[in-house]
Amino acid sequence: MNQPPQHQQPPGNQHEMEPRPDCGEESYEGHGRLTGKAAVITGGDSGIGRAVAIAYAREGADVLISYLSEHEDAQDTARYVEQAGRRAVLVPGDVSDPQHCRDVIAKAVEEFGRVDVLVNNAAYQMTRETLEEIPDEEWDFTIATNLSAMFHLCKAALPHMGPGSSIIGSSSVNSDNPNPTLAPYAATKAAIANFCASLAQLLGERGIRVNSVAPGPIWTPLIPATMPPEKVEKFGDDVPLGRPGQPAELASVYVLLASDEASYVSGARIAVTGGRPIL
């Protein structure tokens, strides 16, 4: 079933979407797999980030939710975290700014004393039909938000992470099979997968695991905020399962990679693509 054509201004708001994405608000059940852990999730206000925050809280983790400016969505996410009996810390601001990335980690350390799980999920994209249409500043902002932020967050977090900690990057099916109208975004997602593979080797001796998740077309605010309405309507039709995924359908993968159940999983990239293969 297609979603109705719709458009928002970036960064987009989940509460304005039709239909609302399913982030597991009513369905996700925790089993104590992250009890006592402290997690930082960027882009945690909505979409995949909200689904991960809800799941982590119901699995027993306290959560810092980093987000840009979507205050209503972020407060909704925090409410679900707190209803699960866990602490929610909201930190608005732009992760394209290296100092803000350092401030996010400093706040997590102030509130939790450490970082056990770092989920690098915040992202920006914009549909452009030709290379010439891409403004120089948009290229730079996409790189800064999607890729450079991960570098600065990881660098700041590592002194506060110990053996058993986990870093997770949100890559994309576009890392292997790029949509040409999302060229800057796709390039960053390939780089995220590569950077995670490098970090897994660099940090293995410290007992810190690093993995990435490669979502396919997932119904999040990024879609109506960055695609024309006619593409939004058909979004996700072209995968073998014939529909876009819901953020809740990724949550269990992020939980696994954060948990001690994945104690020997590092350097992996897990596809959640509705059947579209990755290399």
Q: Are 45 and 70 in contact (CB under 8 A)?
A: yes
Q: By C-alpha distance, which of 20, 64, 15 is closest to 42? A: 64
Please report whether residue 277 resides in a domain.
no
Range of the domain at 57: 21-272
**pTM given for the model:** 0.95
Return the biggest CA–CA distance within the chain: 50
**Can you give the CATH number for the domain in which 111 is found?**
3.40.50.720
Sign of CA dihedral 203, 51, 80, 35: negative
Residue with tokens 């996010």: 104
Please report whether residue 16 resides in a domain.
no
The average pLDDT across 29-36 equals: 97
**Residue pLDDT, tens place only, 88-136:** 999 999 999 999 999 999 999 999 999 999 999 999 999 999 999 999 9
What's the domain count of the chain?
Answer: 1
Please report whether residue 126 resides in a domain.
yes
Please report whether residue 6 resides in a domain.
no
Predicted pLDDT at 204:
98
Identify the band that residue 2 occupies on the pLDDT scale cut at 50, 70 and 90: confident
Q: Catalytic amino acids?
A: 185
Please report whether residue 11 resides in a domain.
no
The average pLDDT across 191-214 equals: 98
Predicted pLDDT at 279:
81
The yes-or-no verdict on residue 1 having pLDDT over 70 is no
Please report whether residue 7 resides in a domain.
no
**Residue pLDDT, tens place only, 245-267:** 999 999 999 999 999 999 999 99
